[in-house]
Amino acid sequence: MLMGIDPGKHKCGIAILTKDGQEVFKDIFETTNLSKRIKELFNEYSIENVIVGNGTYADKVFNILDLLMDKKMIKFIDEKNTTYLAEQKYLKENPPFGLQFLNKIIKFKPQKPLDDYVAVILVEKYLDR
């Protein structure tokens, strides 16, 4: 299993995927609770690597992870375009009112944080390398 983390100052998206890219878990947690949640997820899932986005607050999240696991398990990946890709993934899974044609015209934007979707995208980018 692979864990993806979209680091942020106040909240982090976390996703767990199998090595073949199947999504098993995703959620958003407050950064202050990150250590506790990661420990819980490590107890629940057999995590082999943690993929962390290299953007905002990545160094702080790395410091938290460094206390919980071997550094060799932590992999950084470029966050370029991940927000856009997360929006597309979210809209595909949750089309607004079923009006996909109108969505292409008005460019509907999700009204919820997508940190969990970004975490999924980070793992998918890692798997595609």
* CATH number for the domain that contains residue 17: 3.30.420.140
Task: Specify the pLDDT at position 111.
Answer: 75
Using CA of residue 13, residue 43, residue 129, residue 92, what is the dihedral sign? negative
Residue-wise over 17-45: b if at least 16 C-beta within 10 A, else e? beeeeeeebbebbebeebeeebeebeeee
Using CA of residue 104, residue 15, residue 81, residue 112, what is the dihedral sign? positive
Cα–Cα nearest to 14, from 73, 31, 109, 22: 31
List, in sequence order, every residue forming a beta bridge with 6; answer none if it has no partner: 13
Q: How many domains does the chain have?
A: 1
Domain that holds residue 44: 2-128
Distance CA 122, CA 44 (A): 21
pLDDT in tens, 63-107: 999 999 999 999 999 999 999 999 989 988 887 665 555 655 566
* 36 alpha-carbon distance from chain centroid: 17
Q: Do residues 119 and 26 make contact, with C-beta atoms less than 8 angstroms apart?
A: yes
Distance CA 91, CA 110 (A): 7
80: three-class secondary structure by DSSP: coil
pLDDT in tens, 105-119: 566 677 789 999 999
pLDDT in tens, 7-38: 999 999 999 999 999 999 999 999 999 999 99
pTM comes to 0.88
